[in-house]
Amino acid sequence: MIFCPLYSGSSGNSIFVASQNTKILVDVGMPGKSIESALKYINQNPNEIDGIFITHEHSDHIKGAGIISRRYNIPIYANENTWEAMKPKIGNIKENNIQIINNNCVDIMDMHIENYHISHDAAAPMGYAIYSGNKKVCITTDLGYFSSEVKTMIKDADVILLESNHDIEMVKFGPYPYPLKRRILSDVGHLSNDACGKAIVEIMNDKQKHIILGHLSKTNNFPELAYQTVVNILKENCIEIGRDISLNLAKRDMPSDVIDF
């Protein structure tokens, strides 16, 4: 499989995932030209995308979904509540490209995509577990807390994009108004650097994992701070980077490194 966060952060999110015969995007939260540019950067053709999977309806996850769907005739997959919430925001979509997810899985050729509930202040937010052969990728951002369902879904994944959104002290003493601070720190907000590190400790087992820290806040975080906070928590629990786990950061404004596994 191939995995690449094209963009990851509070400004916009989109992830490219490919198996031998299937290519998908999870979220399209940047303008169409930005998505096209990112795909070109990693030598991928938007005409070959087989589906767009939406996690939830916030603009940093759907901004370019309608444009890319119309331009390249790509189906958009989302659960019914998410479709209803995002429908007014993405423009007209061809009837045959409106794909409502009615159960917890979708199969596209050699790719099996399962969804799972995450806690966020959206209509019906979901994470995705993507399988092909004996490989598994999980995309888990925009969650207020690390639930047992999320833990069960991601603990055996080979590659995980996991939210490390903010530093708690930066939120508390930062420029945001109090209601927004309360939202971010709530159980339907975002996962902090500390909570991300503790979540990784919970899912450690004998399987070597490649974890990418994603959806970092531009205002309430720094890449170096997110990375070092997580590393410190792992070290405290005798987990060694390189030996037990691979750890990287997803980039905000351009594609991250392509992971081919």
| Tokens at 68, concatenated | 């890319």
Phi-psi region of 217 (alpha: psi -120 to 50; beta: other; left: phi over 0): beta
Mean per-residue pLDDT for 86-94? 97
pLDDT over 90 at 39, yes or no: yes
* Burial call 219-255: b when 16+ CB within 10 Å, e when fewer: ebbeeebbbebbeebbeeeebeeeebbebbbbbbeeb
Condensed to tens digits (0 to 9), the pLDDT of residues 205-233 reads 988 899 999 999 999 999 999 999 999 99
Residue 114, helix vs strand vs coil: strand
pLDDT at 131 over 90: yes
What pLDDT sits at residue 69? 98
d(CA 155, CA 21): 26
pLDDT of 208 reads: 87
**Cα separation of 206 and 178, whole Å?**
42
CA nearest 23: which of 96, 93, 113?
113
Q: Which two tokens stand for residue 210?
A: 């490649």
Tell me the domains of the chain and their CATH numbers. 2-260 (3.60.15.10)
From residue 90, give the alpha-carbon distance in Å to each of 30, 67, 126.
12, 8, 19
What mean pLDDT is predicted for residues 122-138? 98
Q: What is the mean pLDDT of residues 88-103?
A: 97
Residue 14 φ then ψ, to 5°: -160, 135
Query: For all residues of the chain together, what is the average pLDDT?
Result: 97
Residue 58 above 90 pLDDT? yes
pLDDT computed for residue 56 by the predictor = 98
Average pLDDT (246-251) is 98
pTM over 0.85: yes
Residue in the block written with tokens 């159960």: 103
Residue-wise pLDDT tens digits, 137-196: 999 999 999 999 999 999 999 999 999 999 999 999 999 999 999 999 999 999 999 999
Q: What is the pLDDT of residue 137?
A: 98
